[in-house]
Structure 1
Amino acid sequence: MVKKRLTGPRSSSVPKERTSMGSLGFVDRCERSISSLEAVDGVHLERRSAVFPAGQGNGVEGRLALLENDGISLPEAIRPYVFDVPELHASWQYSDPVIVGEFCLGNLPRRLAGGGVPMEDSRLPEAQQRILAELKLIDQAPFSGSGRIAGLRIPQEGEWEIWYYDMKKSYFGRLDLDYGCYLENVLLTRGAFGWQYLFSEEDMRAGKYRSVTKNLTSMLNTFAALFPDQDYTALADRLEARL
């Protein structure tokens, strides 16, 4: 079988926090990010536990080998973000000021292997409906039922694309970051609702984004104080540029 080499994702800066945690794997870094938030007074945090069906774990190398057999070779830049657990999830709320967030990162090899139900929204233009149906789901918010998802699109040619869909805000657009940077910002924001808009071209001055900008403003101010070893300056600059 002739292998198709998936071209790597677009170049994008990686937050400093990646290097500050040394050689820890992504799962360990994610667990640390969740634990640091859970330890904060005023935070209520819930998680769901998912398991592979019997015999479907295989380990990271095993899952990559299965993709290789299907003619898919992951770029080296993606491999540090491949994990064997079915998903990484946290849903949380901070009490004062009120900040809410959730993330549920899917297992990338399983997503690339296919088998999921294509996403649909008949309200979108036809061209966007086709893109939505192509996406491999990488992040969602199952506890909130908010209709927010992020997906990976791999064109026949060119760079990988990250798209964000917000059903309640009727928004669907490509984000200005790559897969690795998406996951890094999940760790940094702990999945605070709306952080993806900071990498969109959306004008967030519109009234429908009032709750989003309030949540992000509170998150950036509060997290900068709670986690002084992490740098929120770039995200704050992005928010300011959209207001």
Structure 2
Amino acid sequence: MLLAYEAKLLNMIDEIGNCPNIRVLGQEQGPLGEFLNNADAAFDLLRQLNGITLDPSLKRSFHRYNGLGLYWRGSGECGSLGGEFHLVQLLDAIVGGAPAWLQQDGWSEDELALHSEFRVFDSQFSGGVGTFSALRLQDGVHDPEVWYFNVTYGSVKLDIGYSDYMDFLLLTRGFYYWQYLFAEVPPEHYNFEAIGLELRKAINFLEENFPENDYSELSVRLDDRLSRWESG
């Protein structure tokens, strides 16, 4: 039987697939780790085997999929818009460790230290714009920070936790760069004005195609981020 958040994920994927103005270009539904049973059992297993205790709030968006991914683009005049996600359940993300390529020569000492704490739970399925989202696993921290990595600009900390991230993933359908709505965009991110324009188009696109959802918070956040960036 599916857990509550797993059902929400599959429903969101169905909504994307049934939207006449969206083309699904790639999809993966990896194995469901039914041996984990539920969030309580999975969190207990993580604590027993790895000595890691996660805050109970993370259970709200717990899922057991390894490799649940989707890549989509808008159709017609909206063909420049798109999104993707590729989800890994928390235990695999944590036990799998930090990405090896982020710990090689070429990064500063501070970056290497930060990267060593990353545990990637959302990346790209197919199209790719060089980004991923990760928990920052630190000793004694039970509610890990969420960081967003862009291969061009580096890493930024998001001002939302894991469960809120997963809720906003459902709302945004994974459109590209939505995570910047929840980050302080650094001034050196010279392309944010163009990204902001694409985010505006994406929000409008979702409002038109999924009118049952409320996207006002995303619009307010975009206005705020653009204002801060322009004044920074």
Structure-2-length-normalised TM-score: 0.82
Instruction: Give CA deviations for 1:41-62 in whole Å, capped at 9, x if unaligned.
Output: 131112123237xxx7513345
Q: Distance in 2 between matches of 1:128 and 1:91?
A: 29
Contact kept? 1:60, 1:82, Cα under 8 Å = no
Residue 209 of structure 1 and its aligned partner are, at CA, apart by 2.7
Residue matched to 1:101:
83
Task: Calculate percent identity across the aligned residue pairs.
Answer: 25
Instruction: Give CA deviations for 1:31-85 in whole Å, capped at 9, x if unaligned.
Output: 1112112211131112123237xxx751334544431322333322111322222
- 125 and 108 in structure 1: CA distance in 2 versus 1, 3 angstrom threshold: same
Contact kept? 2:65, 2:87, Cα under 8 Å = no
Residue matched to 1:166:
150
- 177 and 48 in structure 1: CA distance in 2 versus 1, 3 angstrom threshold: same
Tell which has more relative contact order, 1 or 2 (C-alpha 8 A, sep 6+). Answer: 1
Q: What is the identity, as a one-letter code, of the residue corresponding to 2:145?
A: E
How many residue pairs end up in the alignment?
216
Q: Distance in 1 between matches of 2:155 and 2:99?
A: 18
Q: Distance in 2 between matches of 1:37 and 1:91?
A: 10
Q: Distance in 2 between matches of 1:205 and 1:127?
A: 18
Q: Distance in 2 between matches of 1:204 and 1:212?
A: 14
Counterpart pick for 1:177 among 160, 163, 169 = 160
Counterpart pick for 2:61 among 72, 81, 86 = 81
Q: Distance in 1 between matches of 2:165 and 2:180?
A: 12
Q: Distance in 2 between matches of 1:237 and 1:123?
A: 37
Q: Does 1:29 align with 2:8?
A: yes
* Gap runs ≥5 in structure 2: 227-232
Q: Does 1:233 align with 2:210?
A: no
- 100 and 211 in structure 1: CA distance in 2 versus 1, 3 angstrom threshold: farther
Q: Distance in 1 between matches of 2:56 and 2:146?
A: 18
Instruction: Give CA deviations for 1:103-127 in whole Å, capped at 9, x if unaligned.
Output: 1111101222235643416554321
Residue matched to 2:229:
none
- 42 and 129 in structure 1: CA distance in 2 versus 1, 3 angstrom threshold: same
Contact kept? 1:101, 1:193, Cα under 8 Å = yes
Q: Distance in 2 between matches of 1:142 and 1:36?
A: 18
Q: Distance in 1 between matches of 2:197 and 2:12?
A: 22
Q: Distance in 2 between matches of 1:211 and 1:36?
A: 28
Q: Distance in 1 between matches of 2:60 and 2:214?
A: 22
Structure-1-length-normalised TM-score: 0.79
Residue matched to 1:58:
35
3-state SS, counterpart of residue 47 of structure 1: strand
- 145 and 225 in structure 1: CA distance in 2 versus 1, 3 angstrom threshold: closer
Q: What is the identity, as a one-letter code, of the residue corresponding to 2:11?
A: R
Q: Does 1:67 align with 2:46?
A: yes
Q: What is the identity, as a one-letter code, of the residue corresponding to 1:92?
A: W
Q: Does 1:220 align with 2:200?
A: no
Residue 162 of structure 1 and its aligned partner are, at CA, apart by 0.6
* Gap runs ≥5 in structure 1: 1-23
Counterpart pick for 2:138 among 125, 134, 155 = 155
3-state SS, counterpart of residue 137 of structure 1: strand
Comparing 195-204 with 227-236, greater Cα deviation is found at 195-204
Contact kept? 2:21, 2:209, Cα under 8 Å = no
Root-mean-square deviation (Å): 2.4
Q: Distance in 2 between matches of 1:151 and 1:87?
A: 15
Larger proportion of helix: 2
Comparing 197-206 with 105-114, greater Cα deviation is found at 197-206
